[in-house]
Structures are given as C-alpha cells and as structure tokens.
Amino acid sequence: MKKVIEQLSAMLICEHFIITGSYALSQYGLLVGATVSDLDIILIKPTQGTYELVMDLMRTHPAKTRPKNAPLPLSPDEQKAVKANSLGLTSIFMWEDKKVDIFILDAEPYSVIDGMKYALPMNIIQVKKRCNRMKDWLSLRQMAKQLFEEKQFTLFLDSNPKLSPVDENEDYPV
C-alpha cells in the first residue's frame, strides 16, 4: 500500500494529500489485524490538471464501482454533479490492484505520521457512521472491541463502588 501512496502522492498535485479511511485507522493502531484492501485519499485544493487526471483514471483504470452521479464520459456539468456529492467522493479507480477512492474537499484536519498526512480518527469515524454501510459498522465494532470489552467495563464498575457519579453540568474532555 505504501508504494501506491508514494506513486499517487507524486502524481496528484494538490495543497494537501491526506490519507483517510481504514488504512488511516490502521496507521493509528485502531484496526489491529485488519486487512485493508482499498485506499481512501482526500485531495485539498487539487490543481485543475490533477482533477482532470483523477477523472481520467476513473475511465482508464475502472473499478467495479463509481461515485453516485458519475456517468462516463464526464461533461463539465457532470463533473460539477460529482463534486457536489455530499462526502466529496469524486473518483474511484484501480491502481496497482488496489481500489482507490478520491475525495476532493476544501479543508480537512489531519495529523502527520512518518511524514504522511492522515485524517483524524474522529472524522473518519463520523464519515463511516454517515455512510451507514454494514462494512463500516463492522469496522467500528472491531475498533470498539479493541478499546475495551463490555465485560472489562462491567468489572471496572463493579470493583470501584466509590466512583463519583457523573455531573451532567460539568464539562469533560473528549
């Protein structure tokens, strides 16, 4: 996957090249042992040439799926319809046997790990919830189980009877 990221980050000229989705979550250590088979990339302010390239890659390296409202070939009006997709999903194509989803956004917070930019976990989780697909809910469930199991939480509560109740008026860091 790193080879694909290196190739695409060199080809796709933009203000920020940000990795998102399951691959990013795996880099944060939130999807331990999961096999990540696709790559989700956010391009912030791509050049017109890059925009045209990702549209062309969708035609020349097709995946089995396409973004909604993305008929081929894309006229300028159809390009606007694709960009208007609520998640910013603009192009889906195959690269080096990996399915690549390209999102074009105006901004996205990120962190840097080993020189690469990754979308923040909370933002990825929110998008997974919005997509409301079974594969995303299974991924979220796997992450939750890595953080703690219900038995552990119950044991903690049962073994700490002196815990103070939660004050609903108090602010707690998230």
In a domain, 129, yes or no: yes
- How far apart, in whole angstroms, are the C-alpha atoms of residue 45 and residue 118? 16
Element (H, E) at 105: strand 98-105
Structural domain includes residue 41: yes
Q: How many domains does the chain have?
A: 1
CATH number for the domain including 86? 3.30.460
Tell me the per-residue pLDDT of 138-164, one tens digit each, with 9 for 90 and over: 888 888 887 777 787 778 778 876 766
For residue 110, tell me if it sits in a domain.
Answer: yes
Is residue 162 in some structural domain? Answer: no
Q: Do the domain assignments include residue 154?
A: no
Tens-place pLDDT, residues 53-102? 999 999 999 988 877 655 444 455 555 544 444 578 889 999 999 999 99
Retrieve residue 37's tokens.
């088979």
Domain that holds residue 16: 2-147
pLDDT in tens, 21-55: 999 998 998 887 778 889 999 999 999 999 999 99
pTM: 0.75
- The candidate with the shortest Cα–Cα distance to 136, out of 59, 12, 22, is 22
The reported pLDDT for the residue numbered 52 is 94
- Contact of 119 with 42, CB cutoff 8 Å: yes
| Gyration radius of the chain's alpha carbons | 19
* 153 part of a folded domain: no
- Could you tell me if residue 76 is inside a domain? yes
